[in-house]
Amino acid sequence: MSGPPRRDLEKLEESRSVRRTYGGAIFEGKGITIQERSGILTVKKMRIGSKAAAIRLGESIFIDGGTTTLQIARHIPAGTSCLILNGSGFLF
């Protein structure tokens, strides 16, 4: 694809690959499984997870589903006293 991004998004929407939204687009095509995604950019995700898992005593956090947020959950030290809310059964 070439040309202005708007034209590219129009072509992708016509092919039903994306659904346009205000300021962007949402992928509508066949995605890859979470197991496949977890193997992509793993080292970077682990680095993000280890830094984001710096939770202080008594803090509450919400961890959404996803492969990067899974690394956050994995890097929270055992015995950390905090409340973790999650809307996805994938982490637990």
Total domains in the chain come to 2
Same domain for 62 and 72:
yes
Q: Which domain, by its residues, includes 52?
A: 32-92
The pLDDT of residue 91: 53
Same domain for 10 and 45:
no
Distance CA 12, CA 27 (A): 9
Same domain for 39 and 17:
no
Distance CA 53, CA 63 (A): 11
pLDDT (average), residues 62-83: 88
Give the percent of the chain with pLDDT over 70. 88
Q: What pTM was computed for the model?
A: 0.59
